[in-house]
Copies of this chain bind each other. A is one copy, B any other.
Amino acid sequence: MIKAGIIGATGYAGGELVRILLGHKDVEIAWMASKSYAGQKYSSIYENVYQLIDLDCIADDLPELAKTTDVIFTATPQGYLGSILTEDILKECKVIDLSADYRITDVEVYEQWYGIKHGSPELIKQAAYGLPEIHREEIKGKQLIANPGCYPTCSTLSIYPAVKAGIIDPNTIIIDAKSGTSGAGRGAKTQNLYCEVNENMKAYGVATHRHTPEIEEQLSRAAGEPVMINFTPHLAPMNRGILATSYAKLTAKVTKEEIRKVYEDCYKDEYFVRVLPEGHCPQTRWVEGSNFVDVNFELDTRTGRLIMMGAMDNLVKGAAGQAVQNMNILFDLPENEGLKFVPVFP
C-alpha cells in the first residue's frame, strides 16, 4: 500500500483527492493536513466521507511527515510549497504539487505573473510538468510533479494536436474558457456566495490571468517557438466543469477529415482523452465526476479559422484526478487505476 498524505485537504481539490484516494485499492490515506481545520475531524467538515474515514485534520509539518509517507499531495495556495520545500524532503518522499509553484520553468515569468518571490527556484528543474498525455516519459521516476492548472489542462489538450501538426498559427490563438465555481476555491468570499454566482456569467482576470504563461509555455514547446495567446476565463453558475473554446487561423487549406486524423492519431492511445464524433460539441455534463477530457473541433471555411473545444471536470482531470494519474505513473501502476469513474449524469 502506498502511504499518501494530503496538505490542504479541506479545500475543494483536497476534498476531491480524499474522494478519489478512498477508492484507490493501492493507496492508504495516512494523514490529512489543514491550516484552517487542524484538530477537527475531517468527516465533520466533509460529511460526504462520514463513516468512510475517521482521521482528524493535522498541522502540516512537511519535513517530519515526509519521513513516514510515500507520496504527499499539496493542494495549497500559490507560493506556499515553494517557500517550504527542500531537497531533503524530496529525498524522503514524492511530492505532487497542485499549486503553480513548479509549473513554469522560467522563474522570472512565474514571479512576474504571480507577484510572488519563489522560495526554491533551484527545485523547478527537478519537477516534471504532470500532463501525462504530453509529458508521460518525463514524469516517470521524478520526485516532484507540478500538477497542471485546470484551465491549462483543458486548453492545452484541446489545442495541442493542431499546434503540433502545424495546421494553425499559434500566435493567433484565443482561448475563451468557462469554469464552474469550485475553481474559485472554498474561501469565504462575498463574490463566491450562492446569490452572487447564481444566474450570472462574468469574465475575470482579462488579459492578466495567471494561467496564461503556463498555457503559453506548453504551446511554445509544441510549436517549437515562443507563442503568445489571449486567455480569458469566465465564471459560470455551476459547481464543476471547464469548457474551453479556442480559435486560431489555419496556416493552410486543410480539410475536416485531415484535422480529424490529426486529433485521432494524437490521442488514439489515451484512455482519458476522448475525441468526440464529428458534430458533437464537448459538454461539461458528459465528463462530470470523471477524469475524461472530451475534445473536438469545427472548421470555419468562411473565416479560415479552426474552433477547438474541450470539456472536463476541473476538480478531477483539472486537479485531483490528474494528480492521482501522475501518482500512478510514479508508482508504476496502470495509469487509470482508481480513476475509471464513469461520468455522473445528470
Measured between beta carbons, the chain B residues less than 8 angstroms from A251 are: none
9 tightest A-B contacts by CB?
A: A195-B346, A48-B343, A200-B285, A176-B176, A194-B197, A207-B300, A202-B283, A201-B243, A206-B298
List 29 contacting pairs A-B, 8 Å CB cutoff, sorted by A: A19-B343, A19-B344, A23-B340, A23-B341, A174-B305, A182-B195, A186-B193, A188-B189, A194-B239, A196-B285, A198-B238, A199-B238, A199-B240, A199-B285, A199-B288, A200-B284, A200-B285, A201-B243, A201-B284, A203-B245, A203-B309, A206-B281, A206-B307, A207-B302, A230-B305, A236-B237, A237-B238, A289-B344, A344-B344
Asked if B189 contacts A192 (CB within 8 A), the reply is no
Asked if A46 contacts B345 (CB within 8 A), the reply is yes
Task: Tell whether A266 is near chain B: CB-to-CB under 8 Å.
Answer: no
Task: Tell whether A255 is near chain B: CB-to-CB under 8 Å.
Answer: no
Task: Tell whether A276 is near chain B: CB-to-CB under 8 Å.
Answer: yes
- Indicate how many identical chains form the complex: 4
One of A49-57, A71-79, A95-103, A123-131 contacting the partner: A49-57
Task: Tell whether A247 is near chain B: CB-to-CB under 8 Å.
Answer: yes
Task: Tell whether A342 is near chain B: CB-to-CB under 8 Å.
Answer: yes
The closest CB in chain B to the CB of A198 belongs to B239
Q: What 1/0 mask marks residues of chain A from 324 to 346 whose CB sits below 8 Å from any chain B CB?
A: 00000000000000001111111
- Interchain CA distance A199-B196 in the complex, whole Å: 14
Measured between beta carbons, the chain B residues less than 8 angstroms from A241 are: 199-201
Asked if B51 contacts A281 (CB within 8 A), the reply is no
Q: How far is the CB of A260 from chain B (nearest CB, A)?
A: 15
Q: What 1/0 mask marks residues of chain A from 254 to 295 whose CB sits below 8 Å from any chain B CB?
A: 000000000000000000001011001111111111100010
Q: How far is the CB of A301 from chain B (nearest CB, A)?
A: 8
Measured between beta carbons, the chain B residues less than 8 angstroms from A140 are: none
Asked if B19 contacts A196 (CB within 8 A), the reply is no
Asked if B202 contacts A284 (CB within 8 A), the reply is yes
- On A, residues with C-beta under 8 Å from B are 12, 15, 18-19, 22-23, 44, 46-52, 174, 176, 178, 180-182, 186, 188-190, 192-204, 206-207, 228-230, 232, 234, 236-241, 243, 245, 247, 274, 276-277, 280-290, 294, 298-300, 302-303, 305, 307, 309, 311, 340-346
Q: A174-B247, A189-B188 are in contact. Are A200 and B50 (CB under 8 A)?
A: no
Interface centre among A44, A247, A300 (most CB of B within 10 A): A300
- Interchain CA distance A2-B180 in the complex, whole Å: 39
Asked if A50 contacts B274 (CB within 8 A), the reply is yes
Q: How far is the CB of A159 from chain B (nearest CB, A)?
A: 15
Measured between beta carbons, the chain B residues less than 8 angstroms from A229 are: 303
Measured between beta carbons, the chain B residues less than 8 angstroms from A311 are: 201-202
Q: A193-B188, A199-B199 are in contact. Are A22 and B238 (CB under 8 A)?
A: no
- Interchain CA distance A47-B345 in the complex, whole Å: 9
